[in-house]
């Protein structure tokens, strides 16, 4: 279903349905994450990917046109690049350990310590929260700062533009 949605996104030219389908795509990948027991990530994907990004994309859509512009260049070179990149990525996954392999590098480094010690150290049943907020408190502080910076950047870029245009209008009015 994920693949079918992705292919439909590529085929359609109405931007409105593309935005809606990308919301559907996010929701489906959230379901995939639930079935892989990554509930925290699935939660985020459903709320951010399917919820907020869809609304923001619709907001952007209202500022631009409703239909995709027909492209005039030949699709051969982009298709080649995409195929090669995809092939390299699939080749890379061949070396990856199987899903849930107990000997995978990700499972043998600090994860056992966290899983065994967190009940004693932090005493919080949700290990994800314990790792995020306690063991990795500095990282999460950094992430919060990044989110804040992103908000400031959007504010400066978009609202600043509007204010300047208002001032220009006023100057024009003064000139006339």
Partner 1 sequence: MQHHLILRVVTKLLCGAIILYAFYVQFHGDYSPGGGFQAGVIMAVAFIAYGVVFGLDAVQKVLPAWVVHKLAALGVLVYSMTGVVSLFLGYAFLDYGAFSPHHPSHGQHWGILAVELGVGITVTGVMVTIYYAFASRIPRITDEEW
> Which residues contact partner 1 by CB under 8 A?
39-40, 43-44, 47-48, 51-52, 55-56, 59-60, 62-63, 121-126, 128-130, 132-134, 137-138, 140-141, 143-145, 147-148, 150-152, 154-155, 158-159, 162
Report residue 26 CA to chain centroid gap: 9
Instruction: Say how far apart CA 9 and CA 3 lie, in whole Å.
Output: 10
Between 4 and 39, CB nearer to partner 1:
39
The nearest distance, CB 69 to partner 1, in angstroms, is: 19
Backbone CA torsion sign across 72, 68, 44, 140: positive
Between 48 and 67, CB nearer to partner 1:
48
The nearest distance, CB 113 to partner 1, in angstroms, is: 16
Number of H helices, E strands in the chain: 10, 0
Instruction: Say how far apart CA 147 and CA 155 lie, in whole Å.
Output: 12
Nearest to 5 by CA among 19, 23, 25: 25
Nearest to 114 by CA among 100, 101, 124: 124
The nearest distance, CB 107 to partner 1, in angstroms, is: 20
Between 109 and 165, CB nearer to partner 1:
165
The nearest distance, CB 61 to partner 1, in angstroms, is: 9
């Amino acid at each position: 279903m994920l693949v079918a949605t992705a292919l439909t996104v590529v085929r359609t030219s109405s931007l409105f349905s593309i935005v809606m389908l990308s919301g559907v795509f996010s929701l489906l990948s959230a379901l995939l994450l639930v079935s892989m027991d990554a509930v925290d990530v699935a939660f985020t994907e459903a709320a951010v990917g399917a919820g907020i990004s869809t609304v923001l994309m619709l907001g952007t859509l209202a500022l631009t046109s409703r239909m995709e512009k027909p492209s005039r260049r030949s699709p051969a070179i982009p298709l080649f690049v995409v195929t090669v990149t995809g092939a390299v990525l699939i080749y890379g996954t061949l070396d990856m350990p199987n899903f849930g392999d107990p000997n995978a590098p990700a499972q043998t480094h600090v994860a056992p310590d966290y899983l065994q010690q967190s009940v004693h150290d932090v005493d919080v049943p949700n290990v994800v929260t314990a790792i995020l907020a306690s063991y990795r408190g500095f990282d999460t502080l950094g992430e919060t700062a990044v989110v804040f910076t992103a908000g400031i950047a959007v504010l400066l870029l978009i609202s600043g533009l509007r204010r300047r245009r208002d001032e220009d209008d006023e100057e024009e009015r003064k000139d006339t």
